[in-house]
Structure 1
């Protein structure tokens, strides 16, 4: 008997699978359920943390392992287990914090212990935007917000983030680029037009590496992925097919197999329905 090809379909969330309200539209939800019915394997690979994505994904069950924090964390829903790849060490964290020093913003350290308790450690607040973000995080179930001075050493440090004036964020990214074992992604903040965000991880952590590992574990034949930003290039590099929505950055479109519809027009879902005859 000839084996039927079994691809792994992988979605970025923001600006890709989600609409401009950062939601799964009704049309997209129907499409995902049609994929379930057709037996198509799919999952997500996002820069968001598990907690940040939880409320967004509450209306749909993703049954396969899901990749969070740009490949640092993988959540297996059937085993209810987190696995960690390339967390930051304390020396690496110290170097990153030094590079992030500014009078206008304070960094947040995201971490998790072996019992799946999530933590966010922070310094002294320096702008109202970061205060509002921290207030939102503190309301999430399973999350604990503590001063940086209370951070213990036996934790998985997944990433370091900060939000502040764009010039300060760009300067921080420039400094991070010169440090060993660290990589930074940054972009304009949704909360304020003159602010940007930055997210720092270990250089060996990537969506592409995590997807390759998952593909092997699931014994699937190929990878089809969808993404719009710089942190998606690693999965484009390992994919057999990669697609960028019309709103993607120019360099992402250049790397893609093809450019599809805009994320706020259900571009991914419409493409999937046509490709898989859903």
Structure 2
């Protein structure tokens, strides 16, 4: 049984964070031919759901780089390797020292809650207004957050230099890992996402491989957080726009994500 895992941003999605019509038609062809596929993304379930909701991703989804696995058929959410209270305090203090607002993502029952202090910069307020407030997330002040909460990840956006400095510091911490990249809001800004180091796409992919009885795992990805699943995949493919380290790890480099590279490859690979 083939089992395909798609990263979203920079891979299955175009630069507008959308699934193109051609890619959407390709996903439908995969389903019609009984070829299993799902997502493995660093995005939260909240941010990814509006993008993939119409594309029949029926198998369990991997979110938060493996922290969360959502089974849409069973309506069940599994959480592993959450950030604990001490780790959160370290992150919040570091953010304060660097004058950056942390957005703490928490699962509370069936609700996604984002705790945050007052934004310090326009770009952070922009993130609240243009993203969080348009989702189903509950927004609450950081002062109300319990250290025993189920914390999946902490997100930030800010000045390139400050984010880069925080990224370096956090990745020197034994139990934490941070991923970062350029923000679509402008060249002088970067985003950063932090979660527990034990969580990875790779471990979640292995979980689903065993659960679903797959014999051939095929992964698509473009960035550092995809390496863990590339290392265990039977086949792994990087779009032309991927980071060099991902291209070097890939079985093959395929077309650019803005040119439906994944979909075009799949049509050829499976004669769709």
Please, what TM-score do these two structures have when normalized by structure 1? 0.95
SS in 2 for 1:251: helix
1:246 maps to which residue?
A: 240
RMSD between aligned residues: 1.1
Contact 1:182-1:203 at 8 Å conserved across structures: yes
> How much does 1:222 deviate?
2.0
Show CA shifts across 1:197-238 (max 9, x none).
111010010000001001100011121000000010011011
Q: Quick one: distance in 2 between partners of 1:193 and 1:105?
A: 17
Matched, 1:170 2:161: no
> How much does 1:118 deviate?
0.6
> How much does 1:40 deviate?
0.5
1:79 maps to which residue?
A: 74
Q: Quick one: distance in 1 between partners of 2:98 and 2:250?
A: 39
2:196 maps to which residue?
A: 202
Matched pairs, number: 271
Residues 42-57 of structure 1 correspond to what in structure 2 (within 5 A)? Answer: 42-57=37-52
Matched, 1:264 2:271: no
SS in 1 for 2:104: strand
> How much does 1:187 deviate?
0.9
SS in 1 for 2:247: helix
Contact 1:103-1:126 at 8 Å conserved across structures: no
> How much does 1:192 deviate?
1.7
Please, what TM-score do these two structures have when normalized by structure 2? 0.97
Match of 1:226 among 214, 220, 229: 220
1:35 maps to which residue?
A: 30
Q: Quick one: distance in 2 between partners of 1:179 and 1:116?
A: 31
Q: Quick one: distance in 1 between partners of 2:113 and 2:37?
A: 29
Structure 1, unmatched stretches of 5+, are 1-5
Q: Quick one: distance in 2 between partners of 1:78 and 1:58?
A: 13
Structure 2, unmatched stretches of 5+, are none
